[in-house]
Amino acid sequence: MATDRVSEPTPVLAIDKLEVSLFTRRGVLPAVDGLSLTVAAGETVAIVGESGCGKSLAALAVMRLLPEPPARIVGGAVRFLGRDLAALSDREMQRVRGKDISMIFQDPMTSLNPVVTVGDQLIEAIRRHTAVSRREAGDRAVELLRQVRIPDAERRLDDYPHQMSGGMSQRVMIAMAIACGPQLLIADEPTTALDVTVQAQILGLLKELQTESGMGLIIITHDLGVVAETADRVVVMYAGRKVEEARVGALFERPLHPYTRGLLGATPSAVRRRGGRLVEIAGSVPALSDLPVGCAFQNRCPDVFDRCRAARPALASLLPQQSVACFAVEEEVSRHAAAVGT
Amino acid sequence: MLALAADFIRRFARNRAALVGFVLVIVVIGIALSAPWLFPRNPLRIVGRPEIWPFTTSRFPLGTDSLGRDIAAMIAYGARTTLLIGLCASLTATIIGISVGATAAFFGGWVDELLMRLTELFQTIPNLIFVLTIVSILGQKIEYVTIAVGIVTWTPIARLTRAEFMSLRDREFVQACRSMGMGNLRIMFGEILPNALPPVIVLSSLVIAGAVLFESAVSFLGLGDPNISSWGRLIGDGRTLIRSSWYICAVPGVAIMLTVLALNLVGDGLNDALNPKLRDR
Amino acid sequence: MRRIVVRRLVQIIPLIFAVIVLNFVLIHLAPGSLFDVMTSEQQVTDPAMLDQLRRTYGVDQPTWVQLAKYIWAVMRLDLGFSYRQNAPVLQVIMEQLPATVILMLAATTIALLVGVTAGVVASVRVNTIWDNLISFGAVFFFAAPSFWLGIMMTVLFAVKLGWFPVGGMRTIGSGHGAFADALDVMHHLVLPATALGLFYAATYARVMRASMLEVFRLDFVRTARAKGLSSGRVIVAHVMRNALLPIITLLGLQLGTMLGGSVVIEAVFSWPGIGSLLFDSVMSRNLPMVLGVLVLGSLLVAVCNATVDLLYMRLDPRIRVR
């Protein structure tokens, strides 16, 4: 991984071996187990995985918005422009949220306060971090609504959330998120709850805003179509661990990890069975309380062998700009290298 | 059915507050039932010096009142009155409430509309004022007080019954009964009611608590049956002596409070045990 | 919006109509005829008055005519004549009504301030000692009869400590201007309003706690935090704003009970409102007055209910657009 970056400025976000655990009645569950990833300015990183793989918890951990019982950060660091967010006090973190890092969530219809007007919620976000009068904040709010392509912006300020469609509500959420010019925006399943027709518009909007401001963008999704459209780099997670990371083109062209291949339906047998892309992988994600010894994917993996059941594969950069945690792939690559004589 | 009941009892037992309440209720019932043995003589007889403070002599553990009557005896007999009236009033309210609610839900349409307006009417009329009106018209006898209290407390039961009925009415098993040719009344009472009963029973326990408070207010004001000694009446009688012997008012009040408290704890416990989905977090 | 207001207020009419009919039924349950009741069993002696009453209530006419005449009389705000005060029922009630309204307003204010605050604190510090203490307090004040609380408070704060007067609304002979009078009334108001209000404070505390805990889990609270708002602002501007809505509904439902509760409290503290009036009337078998209090009390509750409903509509934009 060190070879990927020659001389780069401090990444906007550097998650370093983050560990988040859930303290439940059934025991302590490792929901995020040693996740590391970076996001550079102007870059879009997609985090992909099935629900329950820990991607949302990782994002909430960055924002320090974890549901405190039962979740807690138990290890690692989250460095934003060099500063470890996990070590900040509540007060200090409140100054970071909404201003330096923003987050939008999956269901925009329930993510806005139903008894306060859209305008007031926007103005609140603006005035929290910028010292402006209410009037100025109102003007800025209109500007923001125009920026996210909401028609008739001035009138919309007095609307209540229930008077808006899903797509429009999500635009309002985006407007609130970019109100103070954050350097990083985290979008947790931003289009999952929206109509297909609206999805493309929202994703397009996010990319545009990113280009205009140069902010880093993290998109969390389970939908590979979204990944293809928006990401520069992709991180694949499974059962709380990162199993593959690659540039988007490389991932789609030659996915290495069996799980990624399964997601993309690129295993030869899958291609034969159906011509489409997204296929179901047999079996289901193991419960966090029931993780097997060794690789978490072993019970669903077509390429599993004994080493997989004995130890956890570590992330290895087997190809330039692509790392994978899989013994089978390691063996395959070294066999290939030996054959080619490298 | 039996497994459900055992599960229910287990959930109830896990709730410490509810258990405390349950024990208290048993104690009160025990005192009420055993009053004639604990205090064989008429509690209204004068048995000692007036205005003896509680906890000062072992003969009168709760002291004596302005005339020299044994407060402990009066409390024990008062428990009988209080519980009796509470139970009867609650029963009246439950019968009225279930009838109104079930009929409204089952027949729907204008019947429902009419009965809901009726419910609204009884919710608007100030409760105690209505009870006092009835008592002043019909007279200060224990039967009238009981019925009056029952008449002002049926509305929440009607609402709950109606809600439960409405959710059960459209289920398949009712359609099945109807297609078998079962008459309306039979369906209502034989099939739907047994399923709708549990939450209504829970509410009834809270209604008993309300009835106890109502009755004590009425007898405190001196408008209850003059031949019956109840806790509220004891408080009312002791009002003139609050400067010197305020315990005469305090003791019966504590009794009322503990009883109502116990009933509420039990009612809450039953409610929680009935709705387990809200428990495990 | 105005149409909604009018529509809601118009709904009161059939309700009051029903109360009046109920009154009529109750009168007929009493021993004696309608005339006997309305003249308080011939304690009214003025012949002119007796004549007028005969005409008003249609003596010796069929029942349904009597009913119609009775309804008409009440609609004209003629609630009968009270021999005890030697004045029309309506007039007597209106003279004493303000005292009860003041008492109920004060009790509601105390109930809301104490109850809502306690509920919020308990929910923010859930499962700590504060939460347990508040929950215990709520259960205690919910179970204790309010008149008994009133007496105990009188013993402690009035008799033993002497901080507050034992009863009444004003100190006799202290007429030094409006401001001093207001202070005097407030001084007398503390104990009765607190005794009346604590029961409702307990209910509001419990409901508020539950409501806050529910709202805490909703998505928009997470959004508010994600905006970087301070926890205080999140709690007040976002959580409470939503959590208060069920309390408003509850407030409406409790008004009928509170009016009844004020009857007992007024008796305990000799507070000169319609509660005391009712108590006195029941004792002296002054039925026209009792029924008059019933009708006007119901009207008061119906109006308050309508007001609360409209207030709720104002606060929850989701149910406004119809």
Nearest residue in chain B measured CA to CA from C160: B243
- What distance in Å separates the CA atoms of residue B73 and residue B84, rounded to the nearest whole number? 17
Query: Average model confidence (pLDDT) for chain A?
Result: 86
Q: Of residues A185 and C180, which shows the higher confidence score?
A: A185
pLDDT, position B276: 57
Nearest residue in chain B measured CA to CA from C139: B261
pLDDT, position A272: 43
List chain B residues with pLDDT less than 50.
Answer: 278-281
Question: How distant is the Cα of A323 from the closest Cα of chain C, in angstroms?
Answer: 32
- What distance in Å separates the CA atoms of residue A166 and residue A163, rounded to the nearest whole number? 10
The pair phi, psi for residue A265, each rounded to 5°, is: 65, 30
Beta-bridge partner residues of A46: A219, A234
CATH entry 3.40.50.300 includes domain A13-90+184-294: yes
Of A96-110, B31-45, C84-98, C138-152, least confident by mean pLDDT is B31-45
Which chains form contacts with chain C, at 3 or more CB pairs under 8 Å?
A: A, B
Mean pLDDT of A150-173: 92
In contact, B60 and B52? CB cutoff 8 Å: yes
The answer to whether A17 faces chain C, any CB pair under 8 Å, is no
Is C279–B221 a contact, with Cβ atoms under 8 angstroms apart?
yes
Burial level of B132, CB count in 10 A (0-12/13-18/19+)?
A: buried
The pair phi, psi for residue A318, each rounded to 5°, is: -85, -25
Is C290–B132 a contact, with Cβ atoms under 8 angstroms apart?
yes
Both tokens assigned to A246: 């690659």
pLDDT, position A278: 47
Count of CB pairs separated by less than 8 Å, A with C: 76
Question: How distant is the Cα of C306 from the closest Cα of chain A, in angstroms?
Answer: 21
The answer to whether C214 faces chain A, any CB pair under 8 Å, is no
- For residue A265, name the pLDDT band (cuts at 50, 70, 90): confident
Residues ≥6 apart with Cβ < 8 Å to C2: none
The answer to whether C260 faces chain B, any CB pair under 8 Å, is yes
Beta-bridge partner residues of C192: none
- What distance in Å separates the CA atoms of residue C153 and residue C201, rounded to the nearest whole number? 16
Best residue in B113, B125, B143, B218 to probe C by mutation, most C CBs within 10 Å? B125
- For residue A251, name the pLDDT band (cuts at 50, 70, 90): confident
List, for residues B203-216, the tens digit of each pLDDT value: 888 889 989 999 99
- The domains of chain A are located at 13-90+184-294, 101-181
Torsion of CA A143, A148, A153, A157, to 10 degrees: -90
Helix intervals (H) in chain C: 2-10, 12-29, 34-38, 47-57, 63-75, 89-124, 129-143, 146-153, 178-216, 219-226, 231-233, 241-269, 274-283, 287-315
Set of chain B residues whose Cβ sits within 8 Å of the Cβ of C290: 132-133, 136-137
Nearest to A114 among C222, C231, C318 (CB): C318
Name the C residues in 215-234 with CB < 8 Å from any A CB: 218-220, 222-231
- What distance in Å separates the CA atoms of residue B210 and residue B215, rounded to the nearest whole number? 9
Contacts of C41-50 with C-beta under 8 Å, sequence gap 24+, read C41/C285, C43/C83, C44/C81, C44/C83, C49/C81
Q: Quick one: CA dihedral C104, C107, C111, C117, positive or negative?
A: positive
Ramachandran area for residue A107 (φ above 0: left; ψ -120 to 50: alpha; else beta): beta
pLDDT, position C40: 64
The count of other CB atoms within 10 Å of the CB of residue A270 is: 19
pLDDT, position C198: 95
Q: Is C138 helix (H, G, I), strand (E, B) or coil?
A: helix
Is residue A268 predicted with pLDDT exceeding 50? no
Question: How distant is the Cα of C314 from the closest Cα of chain B, in angstroms?
Answer: 22
Residues ≥6 apart with Cβ < 8 Å to A278: A224, A263, A264, A265
In contact, A39 and A45? CB cutoff 8 Å: yes
Single-letter code of the amino acid located at C260: G
- What distance in Å separates the CA atoms of residue C303 and residue C285, rounded to the nearest whole number? 28
The answer to whether A115 faces chain C, any CB pair under 8 Å, is yes
pLDDT, position C126: 86
In contact, A147 and A213? CB cutoff 8 Å: no
ipTM, two decimals, is: 0.85
Helix intervals (H) in A105-188: 118-129, 134-147, 153-156, 166-178
Best residue in C151, C251, C280, C304 to probe B by mutation, most B CBs within 10 Å? C151
The answer to whether C317 faces chain A, any CB pair under 8 Å, is yes
Of A194-203, A249-258, A279-288, least confident by mean pLDDT is A279-288
Distances (CA, A) of A17 to A37, A44, A217, A318, C105: 8, 20, 20, 20, 60
Strands (E), chain C: 81-82, 87-88
Enter the pTM of the model: 0.85
Q: For chain C, how big is the Rg over CA atoms in Å? A: 24
pLDDT, position A213: 92
The answer to whether C313 faces chain A, any CB pair under 8 Å, is no
The answer to whether A68 faces chain C, any CB pair under 8 Å, is no
Is B130–C294 a contact, with Cβ atoms under 8 angstroms apart?
yes
List, for residues C62-93, the tens digit of each pLDDT value: 777 878 888 888 888 888 778 788 888 888 99
Torsion of CA B219, B225, B227, B229, to 10 degrees: -30
Name the C residues in 262-281 with CB < 8 Å from any B CB: 263-264, 267-268, 278-279, 281
Set of chain C residues whose Cβ sits within 8 Å of the Cβ of A111: 219-220, 222-223
- What distance in Å separates the CA atoms of residue B165 and residue B225, rounded to the nearest whole number? 38
Ramachandran area for residue A11 (φ above 0: left; ψ -120 to 50: alpha; else beta): beta
pLDDT, position B104: 87
Is B133–C294 a contact, with Cβ atoms under 8 angstroms apart?
yes
The answer to whether A99 faces chain C, any CB pair under 8 Å, is yes
- Asked, as a colleague might, if the bond just before A70 is cis with ω within 30 of 0, I would say yes
User: What stretch of H or E contains A59?
Assistant: helix A55-63
Q: For strands A184-188 and A216-221, give the pairing.
A: parallel
Nearest alpha carbon to residue B158 among B210, B203, B109: B203
Both tokens assigned to B170: 């459209």
Both tokens assigned to B93: 């309210």
Is C228–A124 a contact, with Cβ atoms under 8 angstroms apart?
no
